[in-house]
Amino acid sequence: EIANQIHRQVLSPLRLDSHNIRLTTSLGVAVYPEFGCNADSLLQLSSLAAQESKRRGKDIMSVYDPAFDATVKQRLYIERELSRSIHDLSQFELW
């Protein structure tokens, strides 16, 4: 509930002189003690959730889900393999 309140407050336009300023946010949340028992693990998991929010679009709040781990591992694997392939151009076939 606190995360929802923060998210709503950030999305509320700010008034500065005669201008309305609208902020956007990608918010990640990790729940204690369900997914982490110390500050470091909660920060790491909430960071994964924030990455998921960014992937999904603007003004999204995501609560950490263990499935995010698999998604991140898959993305890192693809990036690593692409990097290897680029270094070894013989794996590319142009048509």
- Position 39 scores a pLDDT of 92
Residue 29: which residues within 8 A CB-CB, separation 6 or more?
Answer: 3, 46, 49, 61, 62, 63, 64
User: pLDDT tens across 45-59, in order?
Assistant: 999 999 899 889 888
User: pLDDT tens across 80-92, in order?
Assistant: 888 887 777 765 6
Confidence check: pLDDT of 95 > 70: no
Strand partners, 62: 28
User: pLDDT tens across 17-27, in order?
Assistant: 999 888 888 88
> Is the pTM here over 0.75, yes or no?
no
Contact predicate 68/49, CB 8 Å: yes
Integer Cα distance of 26 and 7 in angstroms: 9
Integer Cα distance of 73 and 78 in angstroms: 9
